Every structure is written in structure tokens, then in C-alpha cells.
Amino acid sequence: MALQDAKNAGATAMFGEKYGEQVRVVEVPGVSMELCGGTHVSNTAEIRGFKIISEQGIASGVRRIEAVAGDAFVEYVCSRDNYMRHLCSSLK
């Protein structure tokens, strides 16, 4: 939708982000409505797994998450699994 229409509808823009005249709006009803710079997959099945690694407050009422998805998710889970096996073996 048009940037101004999105703002008029109540979509939140992230401070410092640049948006074109046409924007994508991501909404979780009753939770948030935000402008999105763009989706990076054509289908959520491409994401495979998704794991939040960390989160932090970046402004009043705004949280930022760091996550891994796709191949990075598989590598992360395998690494954590190997580490857990090592700990179990060491601690018996």
C-alpha cells in the first residue's frame, strides 16, 4: 500500500529506516502493525526452522529480535545438540 496510507492506518515505522512510496505492512491483530522493508522468502516453507537467539529493547515499546532460520537454524540446532551430548558425556 502507499506509505502515507499505511501510516494513516496506524502502521509503525522503525526510526532510521527508509521506505519507498509503496510499502508492505505486517500486522498481528491486536498486537502490532508495522511497516516492513520486504519479505525475503516467497513462501514461509523456505524458512524451515526458526529460533530466536536474543531480544532487546531498542526504544520505548519496541523490541528487536535476533534469530536464525533455514540452513543457519539447522547448523545452530546441530551445534547445540553436539554441545549437549558432550556435556552429558562429561558429567555422566
Scan for cell 546441530, then name that residue: 78
Same domain, 56 and 34: no
Residues 50, 78 within the same domain:
yes
Instruction: Please tell me the predicted confidence (pLDDT) of residue 74.
Output: 93
What pLDDT was estimated at residue 38? 59
**Predicted local confidence at residue 84, as pLDDT:** 96
Please give the mean pLDDT across all residues of the chain: 86
In this structure, the answer to whether residues 53 and 75 fall within a common structural domain is yes
Segment 40-65 shows an average pLDDT of 84
75 and 51 belong to one structural domain: yes
Closest CA to 38 of 25, 27, 52: 25
User: In this model, does residue 75 exceed pLDDT 90?
Assistant: yes
**Structural domain of residue 80, as residue ranges?**
46-91
Residue 42 has pLDDT above 70, yes or no: yes
User: Which amino acid is located at 82 in the chain?
Assistant: N
The total number of structural domains in the chain stands at: 2
Query: Which residues, 6+ apart, have CB-to-CB distance to 24 below 8 Å?
Result: 35, 36, 37, 38, 39
Q: How far apart (Å, rounded) are the C-alpha atoms in residues 15 and 23?
A: 15
The x, y and z cell numbers of residue 59, run together, are: 526504544
Q: Say if residue 35 is in the same domain as residue 57.
A: no
Tell me, yes or no, whether 55 and 36 share the same domain: no
